[in-house]
Structure 1
């Protein structure tokens, strides 16, 4: 999930967004997943456009 998100969006990130993503990677994987799927509230520090895009999950190719 995180790798697909990075691959899709990293080319458009500002230095601040890159730093925010690096900080996100320091968090526990289970926490990031919970924030992405909405089972836990997103910490204020990570709330915003990046998390909204992560929560959409539309960057993951799914065969239907």
Structure 2
């Protein structure tokens, strides 16, 4: 039973470290507008995001700042593969914040 507790603690530590890495990446993207937008959203929601949302966010973070910003302001359409519930929540956060 002690081994399971250690594993649970280790898993929790890994999860916390992952959330911190994601938050750091969202706050330090390189384009100030995206640092504020993604960093703000993730700063408020990282602690409660599901594993699936974290995975979706990691994929979204691989999109360039310029491309992601163009989607957010409506300059370009969001590709279907990125038009997820998480993307829409971030876009709604942007609308609420501005």
TM-score calculated relative to the size of structure 1: 0.77
CA RMSD between the two structures = 1.5
Structure 1: how far apart are the matches of 2:49 and 2:38? 15
Residue 43 of structure 1 corresponds to which residue in structure 2? 79
- Bigger relative contact order (CA 8 A; separation at least 6): 1
Runs of 4+ in 1 over 2 A off after TM superposition: none
Pick the structure with more helix per residue: 2
Structure 2: how far apart are the matches of 1:39 and 1:9? 26
TM-score calculated relative to the size of structure 2: 0.54
Q: Which has the larger radius of gyration?
A: 2
